């Protein structure tokens, strides 16, 4: 399975671009586990205030 693609915000937060479904499944089935991602670029905005995947799961 290829690693999800992420962008890095100015505050260091990683933003998922491709692989949201895979990341959501991992967050549901194995909370707290780490996954390998591929950083494909930087974004000129801070994203720390945005919700995280784990915040939206029941």
- Give the mean pLDDT per block of 10 residues along the chain (58 residues): 94 93 90 93 95 82
**What pLDDT is attached to residue 19?**
92
Residue 53 confidence (pLDDT): 79
List CB contacts of 3: < 8 A, sequence separation 6 or more. 19, 35, 36, 37, 38
Comparing CA positions, the residue from 12, 10, 20, 19 lying closest to residue 45 is 10
Spatial contact of 25 and 31, defined as CB atoms under 8 Å apart: no
pLDDT given for residue 34 in this prediction: 93
The domain locations on the chain are 5-49
């Amino acid at each position: 399975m290829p690693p999800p693609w992420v962008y890095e915000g100015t505050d260091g937060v990683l933003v998922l671009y491709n692989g949201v479904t895979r990341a959501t499944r991992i967050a549901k089935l194995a909370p707290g586990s780490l996954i390998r991602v591929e950083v494909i670029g930087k974004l000129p905005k801070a994203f720390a205030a945005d919700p995280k995947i784990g915040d939206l799961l029941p």
